[in-house]
Structure 1
Amino acid sequence: MIIYGLTTCDTCRTASKTLDGMRFVDIRAEGFPEGLLERAAETFGAALVNRRSRTWRDLPEEERALSVVELVRRHPTVMKRPLIETEAGLHLGWTSEVRRALEG
């Protein structure tokens, strides 16, 4: 299991502490592996972008108009976090549904 997020993100830290045997990847420092961001965009679409984030609110309109993949690649802090990759697939966020799926 791999958690993609930011080391400064409280939600990512909570997920990391809760899930045993995971590997954490700081997307700002390490980026995304080839193809992962595209798979995440196919799976979650526009939900991959956290439109409530300060980063999103501060973006000019021309940046907001970018594709989800390009937007997250340029501004990783705009991604809803964490993005969790398991053998079974991808999970986004730290909702009760995601916790049940991963802990259960």
Structure 2
Amino acid sequence: MKSVLQAAWLLTVAFGNLIVVVIAKLRLFNKQSLEFFMFSGLMAIDMLIFAAMAYYYKYVNQPQEVLDSEKSPESTEKDAKVYPKLSGVHNEGFLEDTKM
């Protein structure tokens, strides 16, 4: 998953750099300051699109039964014996390290 996210990040950076190169080579502006203002305008448009997407985002709560069904019955019983007050996944490697 980490490499997929890194690849997506690098792909978006590459597309951004491609846009900068194309606009710079087309020489649409006489002054570089106007080119920077155009890039800041594009960023403002991106910010507005992101804000609209975040505003209309609907969070979905999963019922507790769905979350509990994802655990196997064996691990849940074992976890309850080892860690009676905690919930989560049992890590056998951690216990082996602490028995030194």
Flag whether TM exceeds 0.5 (same fold). Answer: no
Which TM-score band (shorter chain)?
A: under 0.3
RCO higher in 1 or 2 (8 Å CA, sep ≥ 6)?
A: 1
Structure with higher Rg: it is: 2
**Which protein is richer in strand relative to its size?**
1
Question: What TM-score do the two structures reach when normalised by structure 1?
Answer: 0.20
